[in-house]
């Protein structure tokens, strides 16, 4: 198989300061099943989105059979023979199964400007039956089907026209064993047909078993492409995570500053559909990490501790017996929260830096409920400068700031509030290296001052680098607990995540 | 790719400078004031000075009081990014209550009007927050509900107030009430946490909630306050007209909305609202209405002109970046 089919040359994409795909070049042969693996945020999905035109390229190009691809959206991609089954829900509610399958390709059923629905339904049913999904009725609304069936419908939608290249982005997680078997069969048939598949999955054994070659991405860069029959899961994990850690970046010590004093007691916390029966203690001066796959419930746990979850059961109790039920309780008792969804939940983007910093502390700054502008200004300037936020003045709107500076504003407001417990969800998400280092240094500093931090992160390196203890969550429950030690490595942790 | 350097034309540079000057937020803040001065000048010339005569100023002022009072409450609602279309029906209902109670005692009448307004506002706020229905839908519904009730109560005859109540129809009393309302709201908005909280909810409700703002409670209180303040406007209205017909307060909600938008209030609310929007907006809107009448224009033509101006101002002032759905 030497004839080059699909080529990516120097493909590059940045989102603001995040370099999502960093000058990647690779070749895929005709009739090859290529695995694409890497950690969260390593650029797998972005790479595929570039290939099928969901995002535009910053530079570089794709060629298929020697012709450069110029694609601006998915319908165009389909016409050029590229198709994708996306990670998220790719079907549209409110349409029938048949309408979903032929979305963007309705032209073939249109006669004299009128859509021939019966013909479309017939055709769709024929396809479903041919795939062996006879239990799905093409005329029903998509809303009648659960997640797995919708994924199956999406598979039909993405492959019925026999595309040259099919991208399967993390689809198997949504499928049961039976659905997976169907998908593997389809992949084999496609390969036998001389067409190509790009297969993305977190399940490494599945990747090794069902692909010919595997490309590994890390931090947007292509690390290596290996033959699937010549590697083990451990080899792949090493390729995925094996970066040379910059020792200055994280904490260097392995002694905990935490005593036995428990600052926060979480008991039996449940949020229906998200987390189940979570209990733990947070000690004074401790950085407690939560890790896992992004859907494991750890993000919801942060909200639950902060009193922001709807319909939470169980108790969150502070030292001294105060129970946290709602956000104002949490804030007035010195708990701070920085959300993963920074622009919507952490910060008011269409508002000034001053108002953002002052907002939680307004009560403390008031004299008999009256606020003085000068005092507010002084407070905001002090804390913005304390965090060295790059700004023109405090009246500047937060929407003008970079991700890192936004996060600095978030931290500035909570430092201003003198919070004792900080719940930081993905605190360095989408932030450049320098600000990351600042944030790690700040966390280390706060820890030594006797403040406690709950750090939730999808990046294992930073959990390993910063935390006194790490709890790994899986399917909404705590699956494992690790203590800080030089011997602890990512492989041990990944096993508990998957 | 090769980049060709074209020498910039002086005219282009000049226009670019001009553009950046006019889009500077500090300059933009003066647009409404410039608009007010412009409209006064234009109508002074077109009516040959009649609009600045004492008689016409008194006429305009008599319309300013109730509108400016009611605008104060709706200003807070719109800062949240919400809308309130029930104001006209609140004027109607509260006026009926004021008239009916005026036979017992004037303070009781005032209190009754205020409580009626507050009750309708509370109803709006609770439905909006509890059932998560957008405020413009809720308030359109309450508008029809209370308009209907007003019509029913005034079916046989207008509800008359005690005749002597019109003795209170004096400029200084109405001015005092108006200034008092403005002053209290100004202090609350500018010098307490309320202002920051309202702007924060308007700019980003979710983030405001995560910053500790009790968003639901604040919304209910603001809708109640808007109703309460319009209850005060109803008293001023009764003092002026003496008896209430079924059309009392008709179209008042649109007058308020137009006044605030002409005053430069962004329709999406949020951090860019200014208290001066209320005062300038009310004046612009009423001078415009009265000026068009004085010019002797046909009613249909007047409405057409107002519509065009309103659309133009919205198009100029709207903040497209932060405009999501009106809550």
Reported as a single tens digit per residue, the pLDDT across A159-180 is 898 899 999 988 877 677 778 8
Contact A413 B211 (CB under 8 A): yes
Instruction: Kindly list the residues from chain B whose CB atom is less than 8 angstroms away from the CB atom of residue A424.
Output: none
Smallest CA–CA distance from A337 into chain B, residue: B210
> Would you state the structure tokens that stand for residue A403, as one six-digit string?
């991700």
**A332 contacts chain B (CB < 8 A):** yes
> What's the pLDDT at A176?
74
Bridge-based pairing of strands A33-37 and A59-64 is unpaired
Q: Touching check for B322 and chain A: CB below 8 Å?
A: yes
Residue A267: partners with Cβ closer than 8 Å, 6 or more residues away: A279, A314, A315, A316, A317
- In chain B, what residues touch A372 (CB-CB under 8 Å)? 191
Show residues of chain A in contact with B210, CB under 8 Å: 306, 308, 327, 337, 339, 345-346
pLDDT of residue B112: 96
The count of other CB atoms within 10 Å of the CB of residue B318 is: 14
Which residues of B, range 264-293, sit inside 8 Å of A by Cβ? 270-271
Does B196 contact A at CB distance below 8 Å?
Answer: yes
Tell me the per-residue pLDDT of A272-291, one tens digit each, with 9 for 90 and over. 988 999 999 999 999 999 99
Question: Do A257 and A447 form a contact (C-beta atoms < 8 A)?
Answer: yes
Triad A125, A127, A131: Cα angle to 5° = 115
Q: Using a CB–CB cutoff of 8 Å, tell me whether B210 touches chain A.
A: yes
Q: Which of A175-179, A324-328, A338-342, B271-275 has the lowest mean pLDDT?
A: A175-179
CB within 8 Å of B151: residues ≥ 6 apart: B246
pLDDT for B260: 94
Q: Which of A85-99, A421-435, B280-294 has the highest mean pLDDT?
A: B280-294
Q: Which domains does chain B have, with CATH numbers?
A: 57-317 (1.10.3470)
Chain B nearest-CA distance from A377, in A, is 13
Q: Is B321 on the interface with A (CB under 8 A)?
A: yes
**H or E segment at A466?**
helix A460-466
Cβ–Cβ gap B271/A332 under 8 Å: no
- Judge whether B23 is closer than 8 Å to chain A, CB to CB: no
Going by pLDDT thresholds of 50, 70 and 90, the confidence category of residue B11 is confident
Quick check: A363 contacting B, CB < 8 Å? yes
Chain B residues within 8 A of A369 when measuring between CB atoms: 192-193
Res. A244: pLDDT tops 70: no
Is it true that A4-81+163-241 and A262-497 share their CATH fold?
Answer: yes
CB contact under 8 A, A348 and B192: no
Output the six-digit token pair for A433: 């290296």
Local confidence band at B3 (pLDDT 50, 70, 90 cut-offs): very low
- Domain boundaries defined on chain A: 4-81+163-241, 262-497
Could you tell me the sign of the dihedral formed by the alpha carbons of B217, B219, B220, B222, in that order?
A: positive
Q: Give me the pLDDT at residue A45, please.
A: 82
CB-nearest partner of A371 from B193, B210, B212: B193
The shortest CB-CB distance from B204 to any of A348, A352, A371 is to: A348
Is the pLDDT higher at A247 or at A42?
A42
Q: Does B198 touch chain A (CB under 8 A)?
A: no
DSSP collapsed to 3 states, B59-115 = HHHHHHHHHHHHHHHHHHHHHCCCCCCCHHHHHHHHHHHHHHHCCCCHHHHHHHHHH
Instruction: Say how far apart CA A330 and CA A323 lie, in whole Å.
Output: 9
**Is A375 part of the contact surface with chain B (CB cutoff 8 Å)?**
no
Residue B121 is predicted with a pLDDT of 97
User: Which position has the higher pLDDT, B312 or A243?
Assistant: B312
Cβ of A346 within 8 Å of Cβ of B208? The answer is no
Q: What is the per-residue pLDDT for A431?
A: 74
* Range from A198-207, A296-305, A461-470 carrying the lowest mean pLDDT: A198-207
Show the tokens assigned to B194. Answer: 């309320």
Name the residue of chain A whose CA is nearest to B321's CA: A350
Q: Among B192, B199, B210, whose Cβ lies nearest the Cβ of A355?
A: B199
Q: Do A344 and B206 touch (CB under 8 A)?
A: yes
**Three-class SS state of A295:** coil
Chain A closest CA to B211's CA: distance in Å?
A: 6
A3 — pLDDT class (breaks 50, 70, 90): low
Please state, in angstroms and as integers, the Cα–Cα distance from residue A107 to each residue in A44, A117, A119, following that order.
33, 12, 12
Query: Min CA distance, A299 vs chain B (Å)?
Result: 14
Residue B118 and residue B285 in contact, taking contact as beta carbons nearer than 8 Å: no
CB contact under 8 A, A308 and B196: no
Q: Are A327 and B192 a contacting pair at CB < 8 A?
A: no
Structure token digits, residue A208: 């090794």
The residues facing A337 across adjacent strands are A423
For the residues B183-187, what does the mean pLDDT come to?
96
Rounded mean pLDDT, A416-440: 86
DSSP A372-413: -HHHHHHHHHHHHHHTT---S-TTSBGGGS-HHHHHHHHHHH
User: Residue A111: beta bridge partners?
Assistant: A114
Q: Which pTM does this prediction carry? A: 0.75
Residue B31, min C-alpha distance to chain A (Å): 20
Least CB–CB distance from B193: residue in A349, A363, A399: A363
Residues of B in contact with A355 (CB under 8 A): 196, 199-200, 271
Closest approach of A307 to chain B, Cα-based (Å): 9
CB–CB contact A370 B191 (8 Å): yes
Give the gap in angstroms from C-alpha A335 to the nearest C-alpha of chain B.
11
Chain A residue at shortest CA distance from B190: A371
- Position A424 scores a pLDDT of 96
Q: How far is A413 from chain B (nearest CA, A)?
A: 9
Do A328 and B214 lie within an 8 Å CB cutoff? yes
Tell me if chain A has a CB within 8 Å of the CB of B191.
yes
Q: Which range, A157-166, B66-75, B240-249, is most confident?
A: B66-75
Cβ distance of B204 and A350 shorter than 8 Å: yes
Distance from CA of A477 to the nearest CA of B (A): 25
Q: How many CB atoms lie within 10 A of CB A144?
A: 12
CA-derived radius of gyration, chain A = 25
In sequence order, the 6+-apart residues with CB closer than 8 A to the CB of A47 are A8, A11, A21, A24, A36, A217
Counting residues of chain A whose pLDDT is more than 70, the rounded percentage is 96
How open is the CA angle A430-A354-A14, to the nearest 5 degrees? 20
ipTM of the complex: 0.85
Read off the pLDDT band of B322 (50, 70, 90): low
| Closest chain A C-alpha to B201 CA, distance in angstroms | 9
pLDDT at B312: 86
CATH code, residues A262-497:
3.40.50.300
- A-B C-beta contacts closer than 8 Å: 81
| DSSP characters over A175-239 | S-HHHHHHHHHHHHHHHHTT-EEEEE-S-HHHHHHH-SEEEEEETTEEEEEEEGGG--HHHHHHH
Helix (H, G, I), strand (E, B) or coil at A136: coil
Dihedral of the CA atoms B24, B29, B30, B33 (nearest 10)? 160
Mean pLDDT confidence for A291-311: 90
Burial of A305 (0-12, 13-18, 19+ CB in 10 A): buried
Residues with Cβ within 8 Å of residue A393, at least 6 apart in sequence: none
Biggest alpha carbon distance in chain B?
Answer: 86
For residues A370 and B191, is the Cβ–Cβ distance under 8 A? yes
A136-166 residue pLDDT tens: 999 999 888 887 888 889 889 888 988 999 9
Residue of A nearest to B207 (CA): A345
User: Quick one: fold of A4-81+163-241?
Assistant: Rossmann fold (3.40.50)
Residues of chain B neighbouring A306 (CB-CB closer than 8 A): 210
Alpha carbon B266 to chain centroid distance? Answer: 12
**What pLDDT score was predicted for residue B8?**
56
Nearest to B238 by CA among B177, B185, B180, B152: B177
Mean pLDDT of chain B: 89
- Rounded CA-CA distance B91/B85 in Å is 12
Nearest to B212 among A327, A355, A370 (CB): A327
- % pLDDT > 90, chain A: 41
d(CA A15, CA A58): 10
Answer left, alpha or beta for residue B245, where phi above 0 means left and psi between -120 and 50 means alpha: beta
Residues linked to residue B312 through DSSP beta bridges, in sequence order: none
* pLDDT surpassing 80 at residue A1: no
Percent of chain B with pLDDT over 70: 94
Give the helix ranges, DSSP H, for chain B: 10-22, 25-28, 31-46, 54-79, 87-101, 106-130, 135-153, 171-191, 193-203, 205-210, 215-241, 252-262, 276-294, 299-317
Tens-place pLDDT, residues B26-44 = 777 788 899 899 999 999 9
Q: E strand or H helix at A460, and its extent?
A: helix A460-466
pLDDT at B1 over 50: no
* A16 or A459, greater pLDDT: A459
Q: Mutate which of B192, B212, B218, B270 to disrupt the A interface (most A C-beta within 10 Å)? A: B212
B16 min Cα distance to partner chain A (Å): 21
Average of per-residue pLDDT across A17-32: 86
pLDDT at residue B317 tops 80: no
DSSP B161: P
Say whether residue B213 is in contact with chain A using an 8 A CB cutoff: yes
Q: What confidence score (pLDDT) does residue A246 get? A: 45
Cα angle value A208/A212/A217 (rounded, 5°): 70
Please name the residue of chain A whose CA is at the shortest distance from the CA of residue B198.
A359
Average pLDDT on B145-153 reads 93
User: Cβ of A400 under 8 Å from any chain B Cβ?
Assistant: no
Q: From the CA of A306, how many Å to the nearest CA of chain B? A: 9
Which residues does chain B have within 8 Å of residue A351's beta carbon, measured at their own beta carbons?
199-200, 203-204, 270-271
- Higher pLDDT, residue A389 or A2: A389
């Amino acid at each position: 198989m030497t004839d080059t089919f699909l080529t990516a040359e120097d493909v590059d994409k940045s989102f603001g300061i995040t370099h999502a795909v960093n000058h990647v070049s690779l070749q895929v042969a005709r009739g090859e099943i290529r695995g694409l693996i890497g950690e969260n945020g390593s650029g797998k999905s972005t790479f595929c989105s570039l290939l099928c035109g969901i995002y535009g390229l910053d530079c570089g190009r794709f060629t298929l059979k020697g012709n450069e691809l110029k694609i601006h959206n998915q319908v165009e991609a389909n016409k050029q023979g590229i198709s994708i089954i996306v990670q998220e829900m790719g079907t549209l509610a409110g349409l029938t199964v048949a309408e979903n399958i032929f979305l963007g390709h309705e032209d073939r059923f249109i006669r004299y400007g009128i859509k021939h629905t019966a013909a479309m339904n017939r055709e769709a049913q024929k396809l479903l039956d041919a795939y062996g999904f006879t239990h799905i009725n093409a005329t029903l609304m998509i809303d009648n089907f659960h997640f797995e069936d919708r994924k199956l419908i999406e598979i039909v939608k993405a492959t019925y026209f026999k595309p040259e290249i099919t991208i399967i982005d993390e689809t198997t997680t949504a499928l049961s064993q039976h659905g997976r078997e169907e998908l593997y069969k389809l992949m084999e048939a496609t390969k036998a047909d001389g067409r190509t598949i790009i297969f993305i999955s977190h399940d490494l054994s599945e990747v090794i078993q069902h692909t010919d070659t595997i490309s590994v991405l890390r931090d947007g860069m292509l690390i290596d492409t290996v033959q699937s029959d010549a590697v083990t899961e451990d080899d792949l994990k090493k390729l995925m995570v094996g970066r040379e850690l910059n020792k200055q970046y994280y904490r260097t010590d392995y002694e905990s500053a935490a005593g036995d004093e428990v600052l926060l007691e979480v008991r039996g916390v449940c949020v229906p559909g998200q987390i189940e029966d979570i209990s733990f203690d947070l000690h004074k001066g401790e950085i407690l990490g939560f890790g896992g796959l992004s859907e494991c419930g750890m993000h919801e746990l942060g909200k639950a501790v902060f009193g922001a979850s709807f319909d939470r059961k169980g108790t969150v109790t502070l030292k001294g017996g105060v129970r946290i039920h709602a956000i104002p309780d949490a804030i007035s008792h010195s708990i701070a929260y920085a959300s993963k969804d920074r622009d919507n939940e952490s910060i008011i983007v269409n508002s000034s830096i001053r108002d953002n910093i002052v907002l939680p502390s307004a009560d403390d700054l008031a004299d008999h409920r009256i606020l003085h502008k000068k005092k507010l200004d002084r407070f905001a300037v002090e804390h913005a400068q304390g965090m060295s936020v790059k700004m023109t003045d405090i009246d500047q709107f937060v929407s003008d700031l970079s991700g890192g500076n936004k996060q600095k504003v978030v931290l500035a407001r909570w430092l201003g509030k003198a919070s004792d417990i900080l719940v930081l969800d993905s605190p360095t998400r989408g932030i450049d290296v320098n600000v990351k280092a600042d944030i790690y240094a700040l966390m280390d500093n706060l820890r030594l001052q006797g403040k406690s931090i709950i750090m939730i992160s999808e990046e294992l390196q930073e959990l390993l680098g910063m935390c006194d203890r790490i709890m790994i969550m899986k399917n909404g429950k705590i699956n494992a607990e690790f203590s800080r030690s030089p011997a602890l490595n990512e492989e041990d942790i990944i096993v508990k995540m998957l | 790719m090769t980049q060709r350097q074209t020498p910039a034309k002086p005219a282009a540079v000049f226009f670019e400078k001009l553009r950046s000057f006019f889009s500077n937020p500090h300059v933009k803040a003066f647009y409404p004031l410039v608009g007010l001065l412009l409209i006064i000048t234009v109508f002074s010339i077109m009516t040959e000075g009649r609009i600045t005569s004492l008689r016409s100023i008194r006429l305009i002022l008599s319309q300013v009081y109730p509108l400016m009072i009611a605008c104060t409450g709706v200003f807070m609602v719109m800062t949240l990014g919400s809308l309130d279309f029930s104001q006209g029906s609140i004027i109607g209902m509260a006026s009926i209550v004021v008239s009916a109670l005026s036979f017992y005692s004037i303070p009781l009448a005032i209190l009754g009007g205020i409580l009626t307004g507050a009750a309708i506002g509370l109803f709006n706020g609770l439905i909006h927050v509890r059932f998560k229905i957008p405020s413009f839908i809720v308030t359109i519904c309450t508008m029809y509900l209370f308009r209907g009730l007003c019509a029913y109560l005034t079916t046989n005859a207008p509800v008359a107030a005690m005749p002597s109540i019109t003795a209170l129809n004096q400029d200084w009393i109405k001015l005092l009430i108006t200034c008092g309302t403005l002053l209290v709201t100004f202090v609350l908005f500018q010098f307490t946490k309320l202002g920051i909280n309202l702007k924060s909810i308007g700019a980003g409700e979710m983030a405001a909630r995560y910053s500790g703002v009790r968003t639901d409670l604040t919304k209910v209180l603001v809708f109640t306050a808007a109703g309460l303040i319009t209850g005060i406007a109803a008293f001023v209205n009764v003092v002026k007209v003496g008896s209430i017909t079924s059309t009392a307060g008709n179209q008042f909600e649109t007058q308020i909305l137009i006044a605030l938008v002409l005053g430069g209030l962004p329709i999406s609310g949020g951090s860019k609202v200014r208290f001066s929007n209320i005062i300038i907006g009310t004046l612009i809107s009423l001078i415009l209405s009265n000026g068009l009448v004085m010019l002797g224009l046909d009613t249909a033509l007047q409405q057409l002109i107002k519509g065009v101006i309103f659309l133009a101002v919205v198009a100029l002032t709207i903040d497209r970046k932060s405009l999501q759905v009106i809550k």
